[in-house]
Chains A and B, each alone.
Chain A
Amino acid sequence: AQKITQTQPGMFVQEKEAVTLDCTYDTSDQSYGLFWYKQPSSGEMIFLIYQGSYDEQNATEGRYSLNFQKARKSANLVISASQLGDSAMYFCAMREGNTGGFKTIFGAGTRLFVKA
């Protein structure tokens, strides 16, 4: 069965520093997708970054990068040069299968606090 684990309920980071948010997953599928979403205090869910199970390179999107270690089943999010606006909840998610209509499950989330 699919499972996503985020072990850090809360993280603090100093503005302009880098921070890593942990995510481990469990699946028996060979084909799957991993996502990170951001939820600010306003409540909306914002897609940040995606990694496919067959992608050989780690995904990057601006200040976000995904440290994908397939053998360890981890997909950590790295935010470089943290900004005050990065303070939010961050969710790791996994979709099994290679097309859109597969079940996607979310981890419990990590709340990030960026200090000035």
Chain B
Amino acid sequence: NAGVTQTPKFQVLKTGQSMTLQCAQDMNHNSMYWYRQDPGMGLRLIYYSASEGTTDKGEVPNGYNVSRLNKREFSLRLESAAPSQTSVYFCASSGAPGGRYEQYFGPGTRLTVT
């Protein structure tokens, strides 16, 4: 099992460019999440998907869109990147019915917007 995978690992964008961060999990989890982590700070929730076909805003959704493509995949899109979106982006999944619903994280994508 690969767990949670994210692509790319690193990305540099110019202001105004767009890109999509990809995330996939092979644990048959229902819920998936996107977070950003700025230097020296905790994780802030951007969007989450409780189950296939649903998405909801988190704490900092502005400037982002998401797609829950199927149960395995949850992508994050930046339509017009801004320097304030320079961050490390983590995808996570959770969901074993009757369980603790702890989150399993991908390795992160380090994004720099110049």
Which residue of A101, A105, A107 is within 8 Å of B95 (Cβ)?
A: A101
Which residue of B43, B44, B90, B94 is within 8 Å of A100 (Cβ)?
A: B94
Contacts A108-B41, A109-B41 given; does A103 touch B56 at CB 8 Å = yes
Please, how many angstroms separate the alpha-carbon atoms of A47 and B3 in the complex?
13
Contacts A91-B42, A100-B94 given; does A47 touch B103 at CB 8 Å = yes
Cβ–Cβ contact B104 & A100, under 8 A:
no
Cβ–Cβ contact B105 & A44, under 8 A:
yes
A80 CB-CB contact with B under 8 Å: no
Contact with A along B92-114 (1 / 0, CB 8 A): 10111101111111011000000
Contacts A43-B88, A95-B101 given; does A100 touch B107 at CB 8 Å = no
Query: Interface residues of B: mostly helix, strand, loop or mixed?
Result: loop
Residue of A nearest to B101 (CB): A100
Count of chain A residues near B, Cβ 8 A: 24
Cβ–Cβ contact B59 & A105, under 8 A:
yes
B48 CB-CB contact with A under 8 Å: yes
Cβ–Cβ contact A47 & B31, under 8 A:
no
- Taking CB atoms, residues of chain B closer than 8 Å to A47 are 102-104
Please, how many angstroms separate the alpha-carbon atoms of A103 and B43 in the complex?
12
B43, B56, B96, B99 — which one has the most chain A CB atoms within 10 A of its CB? Answer: B43
Cβ–Cβ contact A102 & B50, under 8 A:
yes
- Taking CB atoms, residues of chain A closer than 8 Å to B108 are 43-44
Cβ–Cβ contact B43 & A106, under 8 A:
yes
- Taking CB atoms, residues of chain B closer than 8 Å to A103 are 45, 48, 56, 58
A40 CB-CB contact with B under 8 Å: no
Known: A101-B54, A103-B58, A106-B43. 13 other contacts (CB 8 A): A37-B103, A45-B103, A45-B105, A47-B104, A93-B103, A100-B95, A100-B101, A101-B30, A101-B51, A105-B59, A106-B44, A106-B45, A109-B42
27 contacts between A and B (CB under 8 A): A6-B42, A37-B103, A43-B88, A44-B105, A45-B90, A45-B105, A50-B102, A52-B100, A91-B43, A93-B43, A95-B101, A99-B97, A99-B101, A100-B97, A100-B101, A101-B51, A101-B54, A102-B50, A103-B45, A103-B48, A103-B56, A104-B45, A104-B48, A106-B35, A106-B43, A106-B44, A108-B42
